[in-house]
Amino acid sequence: MDSNDPMLLLSSRIGQIGDLGLDLLWRFLHIIVTLCHIVSGIFEAIQSYAISLGLIQKYSSIDIEKLRCLAVVLDIEVARDVAKVVELLQWLKTIGVKQVGLFDSQGLLKKSKDMILEMVPGSMLLQETGEKDISPDRKGIAIEFISSSDNKEAVVKAANILLQRHLKASHPEKDEGDNVFTESHLNEALRVVGENVHVPDLMLVYGPVRSHLGFPAWRLRYTEIVHMGSLKYMRYGSLLKAIHKFTGVRQNYGKSFLF
Amino acid sequence: MTVMRRFIFKVLCVGPIPNHISFIMDGNRRFAKKHNLQDLDAGHRAGFVSVTHVLQYCQEIEVPYVTLYAFGHDNFRREPEEVKCVMDLMLEKIELTIDQAISGNLNKLKVIFIGDLNMLNERLKAAAQRLMEVTEENKGLMVVVCVAYSTSHEIVHAIRESCVRKCGDGDSPQVLEVSDIEECMYTSIVPDPALVIRTGGRDRLSNFMTWQTSRSLLHTTAALWPELGLWHLVWAILKFQRMQNYLQKKQKLD
């Protein structure tokens, strides 16, 4: 037993050194990843400024008619910076975007909506436009304020409407619900509870990660999702680039295989 | 190569590993076109090889759950001969996998098929059922294969199921909660994905797990699905590890 103790100790020490070595390698790997992100960020910044200055020809014209509905997802930390949100909206209006849905999970922007509408000339609440689709001739920008309550909770409210309809059926216990539970019925029920069911064509995510952060799932089906980075350091050129890239995208809507 | 891969994974596993990785396997047909492969299913055959490699890597890294978006509900709108081709290939590969499972080569893999399986032909549906049965008792990596799946269909299906349950349960109040609907979702058997990897360079979720991915890191790679290799997976996981603190903070806020 005694002769094994030094061996056990040695084995343990070797294990610890090995773990330390792995840990250092892991940290080194992450340093490389961070450096790659920094270099990529520098290139993007240079390109963005070149686009803003009109030096890259292909971004000088955008077929904005293809972008019928834009969604902007904001991390709650950035959603507090209303001035930056207003600046973003003004840029979008300049580019010619007619309809934008602003989303933050906690609904901070909903609370500031009056201030935002006041600070963006020509803006209006989407609900007040009274049009199913925004006319291309309409001036100004229609804004919708969205939060997490418009996601799962809204679907549950709509589901309860469908449940009530199902219960009113003559033999609900025998009925499998094929007449009440379809996608179009759910769409209709969502409209009844006051939800917009329009699917955004493009989603711009401002925050640390590319994540939709709980944007209404029902509306996210074929939306192009682009990560824009920090709102604090947002760039007009990057915005133009993202919208331009979208207008060149071809949607198959399921006709190509995901396999 | 295997020794090198194991070493890379050992280093990678110093950091947090995603509990659940979902793959949107896009790009098979473009791969076939790129390499002038003539057969209708050539790209998909190459895609299946990629599936086996990716699952092996995920097992070695000890990812507990993997979801594969194999066939979308909307994909049935494609040309009938192409749909049939993919269905036949799926049947072939499932039957091959059943043989492997029966001969004991798949002990650490549990396979589950989810989606509107009634849209599959009887033979394919029976084969999928059989594969689920033979791997039911297996521990290790759980692979969820989404076939005839879309989030919009899943939500409607879950609402229908939860409503029918409510009607049948006379004691509980006739009001649905979020939990009632989530219990009836196809994906209720797995936790929400921590990381979603889409190949093929496209930036959309294509009606895949939009309900479950509120706190997921969405990663896109330009590599086509049959081209997805070790370093693409390692890169995605490294990105996940960089963002782990932020994603955990978001989860706590919910």
**pLDDT one-digit tens code per residue, B200-226:** 999 999 999 999 999 999 999 999 999
Residues of A in contact with B162 (CB under 8 A): 159
By CA distance, what is A221's nearest residue in B?
B207
**CB atoms A160 and B203 under 8 Å:** no
User: Edge-to-edge strand order for the sheet containing B20-24?
Assistant: B109-114, B141-149, B65-72, B20-24, B195-198, B217-220
Query: Does position A157 have pLDDT exceeding 90, yes or no?
Result: yes
Q: Where are the alpha helices (DSSP H) in chain A?
A: 4-52, 76-79, 82-95, 108-111, 113-119, 152-168, 183-192, 236-247
Shortest Cα distance, chain B CAs vs residue A121, angstroms: 32
What pLDDT was estimated at residue B89?
95
**CB atoms B44 and A259 under 8 Å:** yes
What pLDDT was estimated at residue A173?
53
Average pLDDT of span B124-137: 96
Among A214-218, B70-74, B166-170, the minimum mean pLDDT is found in B166-170
On whether any CB of chain B is under 8 Å from the CB of A95, the answer is no
Average pLDDT of span A27-35: 95
Residues of A in contact with B167 (CB under 8 A): 166-167, 172-173
On whether any CB of chain B is under 8 Å from the CB of A192, the answer is no
Amino acid at B206: S
* A67 CA to centre of own chain: 15
**CB atoms A258 and B217 under 8 Å:** no
Q: Residue B156 — very low, low, confident or very high, per pLDDT cuts 50/70/90? A: very high
For residue range A142-152, what is the model confidence (pLDDT) as tens digits?
A: 999 999 999 99
Helix axes B230-253, A4-52, angle to 10 degrees: 90
Spatial neighbors of A210 by CB under 8 A, at least 6 apart, are: A225, A227, B217, B218, B219, B220
What pLDDT was estimated at residue A145?
96
Among A161-170, B8-17, B33-42, B120-129, the minimum mean pLDDT is found in A161-170
3-state secondary structure of A100: strand
Residues of A in contact with B77 (CB under 8 A): 254-255
By CA distance, what is B7's nearest residue in A?
A22
Pick among B206, B215, B252 to test the A interface (most A CBs inside 10 A): B206
Name the pairing type of β-strands B141-149 and B109-114.
Answer: parallel
**CB atoms A176 and B250 under 8 Å:** no
Q: Residue B98 — very low, low, confident or very high, per pLDDT cuts 50/70/90? A: very high
Ranges of each domain in chain B: 19-166+174-252
Q: Residue A19 — very low, low, confident or very high, per pLDDT cuts 50/70/90? A: very high
What pLDDT was estimated at residue A258?
42
Tell me what percent of the residues of chain A surpass a pLDDT of 70. Answer: 87
The CA-to-CA distance between both ends of chain A, in Å, stands at 59
Strand partners, B23: B68, B197
On whether any CB of chain B is under 8 Å from the CB of A230, the answer is no
Do the Cβ atoms of A231 and A84 come closer than 8 Å? yes
Spatial neighbors of A123 by CB under 8 A, at least 6 apart, are: A89, A93, A116, A117, A140, A141, A142, A143
Average pLDDT of span B9-17: 96
Residues of A in contact with B173 (CB under 8 A): none
For B249, the token pair is 């903070």
Q: Residue B71 — very low, low, confident or very high, per pLDDT cuts 50/70/90? A: very high
Shortest Cα distance, chain B CAs vs residue A217, angstroms: 5
Q: Residue B174 — very low, low, confident or very high, per pLDDT cuts 50/70/90? A: confident
How many A×B Cβ pairs under 8 Å? 184
On whether any CB of chain B is under 8 Å from the CB of A214, the answer is yes
What fold does the segment set B19-166+174-252 form as a domain? Undecaprenyl pyrophosphate synthetase (3.40.1180)
By CA distance, what is A202's nearest residue in B?
B204
By CA distance, what is A224's nearest residue in B?
B204
For residue range A221-240, what is the model confidence (pLDDT) as tens digits?
A: 899 999 999 999 999 999 99
For residue range A117-146, what is the model confidence (pLDDT) as tens digits?
A: 999 988 999 877 765 555 556 678 999 999
Do the Cβ atoms of A220 and A101 come closer than 8 Å? no
Taking a contact as any Cβ pair under 8 Å apart, which residues of chain A between 159 and 178 contact chain B?
Answer: 159-160, 162-163, 166-167, 172-173, 176-177
For residue range A242-258, what is the model confidence (pLDDT) as tens digits?
A: 999 998 765 555 554 44
Query: Does position B9 have pLDDT exceeding 90, yes or no?
Result: yes
Query: Does position B13 have pLDDT exceeding 50, yes or no?
Result: yes
Determine the Cα–Cα distance for residues A209 and A212; give it in Å rounded to an integer: 9
Average pLDDT of span B22-51: 94
Average pLDDT of span A88-108: 94
Other beta carbons less than 10 A from residue B35's beta carbon: 12
**CB atoms B176 and A159 under 8 Å:** yes
Q: In B72-97, which positions are buried (b, 16+ CB within 10 angstroms) versus exposed (e)?
A: bbbbeebeeebeebbbebbbebbeeb
Residues of A in contact with B239 (CB under 8 A): 33
Do the Cβ atoms of B157 and B184 come closer than 8 Å? yes
**CB atoms B178 and A153 under 8 Å:** yes
What pLDDT was estimated at residue B130?
97
Average pLDDT of span B101-114: 92
DSSP for residue A201: S
Residues of B catalogued as catalytic: 26
Average pLDDT of span B6-29: 96
What pLDDT was estimated at residue A62?
82
Average pLDDT of span B180-185: 96
Among A242-251, B44-53, B152-161, the minimum mean pLDDT is found in A242-251
Q: Residue A259 — very low, low, confident or very high, per pLDDT cuts 50/70/90? A: very low
Nearest to B175 among A160, A162, A217 (CB): A160
Shortest Cα distance, chain A CAs vs residue B123, angstroms: 20
Residue whose structure tokens are 């939500």: B155
